[in-house]
A = this chain, B = another copy of it.
Amino acid sequence: MNLKELSKHLGLSQTTVSRALNGYPEVSEATRARVVAAAQAHDYSPNTRAQGLATGHSRCIGHVISVGDSGEMVNPIFGDFMAGAGETYAEHGYDMMLTRVGERDEAETYRRLKARGAVDGIVMHAPRFNDSRLQLLDDLGLPFVVHGRSSGARVPYSYLDVNNRRAFYEATRHLATLGHRRIALINGQEKLDFAIRRRKGYEEGMEASGLIVDPALMTQDEMTEDYGYRSAVDMFDLADPPTAFLVSSIICAAGVRRALDDRDLRAGQDVSIATFDDCLSYFRNSAVPPVFTAMQSSVRAAGKALAQMLIDRIDTPGAVHVHTLWEAEFVVGGSTGPLKE
Contacting residues of chain A (57-106) with chain B, CB-CB under 8 angstroms: 58, 60, 65, 67, 70, 72-76, 78-80, 82-83, 86-87, 90, 95-101
Contact partner of A86 (CB less than 8 A), chosen from B74, B100, B118, B226, is: B100
In the complex the two chains form, what is the Cα distance from A117 to B43 in whole Å?
13
CB neighbours of A251 from chain B (8 A): 76, 294
Q: Is the CB of B80 within 8 A of A117?
A: no
- Return the CB mask of A276-290 against B: 1 if under 8 Å, else 0: 000000101010001
- Return the CB mask of A233-259 against B: 1 if under 8 Å, else 0: 000000000000000001100100110
Residue in B closest to A75 when the chains form the complex, CB atoms: B79
- Return the CB mask of A36-57 against B: 1 if under 8 Å, else 0: 0000000111111110110000
23 contacts between A and B (CB under 8 A): A45-B111, A45-B115, A47-B117, A48-B117, A49-B49, A49-B50, A49-B117, A60-B97, A65-B83, A72-B79, A73-B79, A74-B80, A75-B79, A82-B98, A83-B100, A86-B98, A90-B101, A95-B118, A250-B254, A258-B292, A261-B284, A261-B290, A264-B286
CB neighbours of A294 from chain B (8 A): 224-226, 251, 254
